[in-house]
Structure 1
């Protein structure tokens, strides 16, 4: 495969991993909020003493989303590689195929002993 294509795929893979990590962050935050909904006082205390409040968290996540989107846009622009289909790859060998259980005797090799055993049974 062309090195340009491999590099492009690798960059795309990294961007997808970053997006996956971002979704994990959202999931973790949602689960933490669900755990804290049980006791309102505990929730208010946790939010008050938290290093990151909801506004700061939202801004941080918005910046991460924007960075991933810009990275994906750059990757999309860089997909100027020239892919051509090769006619040699498209050739298919025509092999005679049987669609039933009956086969020609001349195609069977080395089954004489098995044939004798079946006939004896």
Structure 2
């Protein structure tokens, strides 16, 4: 059984022009895995989409901001380090938002799925 670890889910919203600076700061803190939510990719899809694909423009949010989500292990990053990271990023520009969205408990997924699995019959026997 794996030991239970907790993770901080951190969300950073920032204007696109500051993304490289924020990436650099994250790398300075040895954070190299994160999720980038950037709606510019929809523009790229529009340029390269096959002729039979239709995109509904009203469903594509337009934003000059991107969102970076990252998960930091509580065992590897203490609250002081996270606060220091927050200050470093927020000092770039006042439009940047940084917040800890939630704490996530690590689970042993090789066992956890069994709680929700229900067998079912596929035909007559």
TM-score range, shorter chain: under 0.3
Choose between structure 1 and 2: higher helix proportion: 1
Structure 2 length normalisation: TM-score? Answer: 0.22
Alignment TM-score, normalising by the size of structure 1:
0.23
Higher normalized contact order (CA 8 Å, seq sep 6+, divided by chain length): 2
The structure that is strand-richer by fraction is 2
Larger Rg: 1
